[in-house]
Structure 1
């Protein structure tokens, strides 16, 4: 590495790269398994002359979200970051350092935290827009295309497919919010630990740390509101599904009720008794058919007037 290197960014490093950095800096680079530990004592540790920090961080790869570990080794002379996925915050931080920021390890670490928080804020803002669009789809549920007739009702299969898609969309956004919350929680734990352990590391810009902490708190509240919105949309979608199911059961109920009187009449006149008043009547057969027809039509008209279908 060039002399005077301050920030070393290990992106999915090979064993040879890890060995080289350890030889150059004298630091022990944690493995991916070590960075994935969930105990606070494993994620936030004091080193000889520095700090070892790790947090899960959300990443979006191929339209899917994943949580992967992100590690920091901070000393007076070096900042080593260990990551296993691409994060746009690192590109933004490198650009800021190139343009107008200094090269002190503590300053670089602070810039990285700022960019990570800003990246999570952008993700939450995008999520808010997605949830607003999803809310319109749910409360204005209509799968008819623009060329369909106004009174044309979509077939049940299309309506079921639309509802399935809505539920999948809610599920995806709920999972993303959970991973964003895990990322915010990891950063939120880092802030007080670094502030209390910064003696000798020249982390003197407490104002920037306090600003980052307040930003994380505000994002945490914003994420909570979005999570409540997701739960509300899920309840609304389930309510919509219940309405669709009730419509089906209502139709089945009407059909069953309409079929009972004709069945009763047909079964009565189908009895093989010798002495039946209508047996020798010339108009007995049309009379029975008329009764069957009227007994089916009258319930349909009644239910139609009542607005059942």
Structure 2
């Protein structure tokens, strides 16, 4: 099966549009005559070629290739670079992928570790001429790409909330040990999300302050909105973290209540059998001079006595609300 070209170019103006799939970065950079050119690279292997073609700083290559690269913004005299993470849900949990976005004049470059992203609605809007993309510049496209990444966090957070609601119902129902395991798994996912999103506050604030010259006046409010959106995501995550902690407390409270119920029942049973054990022990001593042993109805009388004691104690416990 033939591999897809790793470079995709979308170039557009108010009245024209083109989309191409290429294998060479320099060929993609040679496309001219459009107000905005967006180059998406689906492999890290071409970042060195991108550096040589654009003359970008070596530190950007190191930032992107570093496995634990922290999200951030680097501002240079004629371009800026944003590094952050996309998050995906997999069968084994959450997974994140680094993505770099470069803005230089009318050029926007996105570099990803693997193919696949959350930008398809943007591509469709540009292709169909919807929204403001054809009327705005490359700075607005950069904002839209950043917004799409942040927006993708929201459905993941909503699914985490749904999982916690399901677990809460299970805790109130059975409260088995698998529930506690799943709660701890959700807490790890929330922490994973928070570690990914929190650095964006500093990155987007720096983008607003130091990268101000790269954005048109009508795009600057959008960047402020982007920063506020990250704050909202973090507030939701904080609420989810508190809810996850409360689920753990609810689990242990439920287990404690069930344990107390079991102990109460066992205590009632033990209490009932104490006098019965005393009676059976008394008449099991086999002393020679026990007149009632020779009484014809002594056996059924003792059984009725024991039954009366048990029923009487059960009635008393029930009236007291102990059972």
Q: TM-score, normalised by structure 2?
A: 0.71
Q: Deviations over 1:5-64 (max 9, x none)?
A: 8433333x253x3443334333443476615234x7xx4444574334323443212373
> Does residue 37 of the first structure (1) align with residue 78 of the second (2)?
no
Q: Deviations over 1:196-223 (max 9, x none)?
A: 2226545552121112122222333333
Which residue number in structure 1 is paired with residue 21 of structure 2?
Answer: none
- Match for 1:223 among 214, 237, 246? 237
Answer whether contact 2:44 2:113 (CA < 8 A) is retained: no
Q: Gapped runs of 5+ residues in structure 1?
A: 143-158
Which residue number in structure 2 is paired with residue 154 of structure 1?
Answer: none
Which residue number in structure 1 is paired with residue 40 of structure 2?
Answer: 9
Answer whether contact 1:57 1:182 (CA < 8 A) is retained: no
Output the aligned Cα RMSD: 3.4
Deviation at 1:294, TM superposition (A): 3.2
Answer whether contact 1:269 1:288 (CA < 8 A) is retained: no
SS at match of 2:39: strand
> Pairwise mapping of residues 222-301 of structure 1 onto structure 2 (< 5 A)?
222-301=236-315
Deviation at 1:273, TM superposition (A): 2.6
Q: 1:279 to 1:256 in 2, by over 3 A?
A: same
| Separation in 2, partners of 1:212, 1:32 | 23
> Pairwise mapping of residues 113-124 of structure 1 onto structure 2 (< 5 A)?
113-124=146-157
- Match for 1:208 among 222, 226, 239? 222
Q: 1:261 to 1:20 in 2, by over 3 A?
A: same
| Higher RCO (CA < 8 A, seq sep 6+) | 1
Answer whether contact 1:138 1:236 (CA < 8 A) is retained: no
Which residue number in structure 1 is paired with residue 55 of structure 2?
Answer: 26
- Match for 1:174 among 187, 199, 204? 187
Answer whether contact 2:89 2:156 (CA < 8 A) is retained: no
- Match for 1:70 among 80, 87, 99? 99
- Match for 1:194 among 207, 216, 220? 207
Answer whether contact 1:35 1:55 (CA < 8 A) is retained: no
| Separation in 1, partners of 2:125, 2:291 | 102
SS at match of 2:261: helix
Which 10-residue stretch deviates more, 186-195 or 226-235?
226-235
SS at match of 2:233: helix
Which 10-residue stretch deviates more, 213-222 or 78-87?
78-87
Answer whether contact 1:72 1:81 (CA < 8 A) is retained: yes
> Does residue 107 of the first structure (1) align with residue 140 of the second (2)?
yes
Answer whether contact 1:44 1:51 (CA < 8 A) is retained: yes
| Separation in 1, partners of 2:64, 2:280 | 77
Q: Gapped runs of 5+ residues in structure 2?
A: 1-26
Q: Deviations over 1:237-292 (max 9, x none)?
A: 33223222222222221222122221121112111333333343333333333333
> Does residue 305 of the first structure (1) align with residue 319 of the second (2)?
yes
Which residue number in structure 2 is paired with residue 149 of structure 1?
Answer: none
Answer whether contact 2:44 2:111 (CA < 8 A) is retained: no
Which residue number in structure 2 is paired with residue 61 of structure 1?
Answer: 90
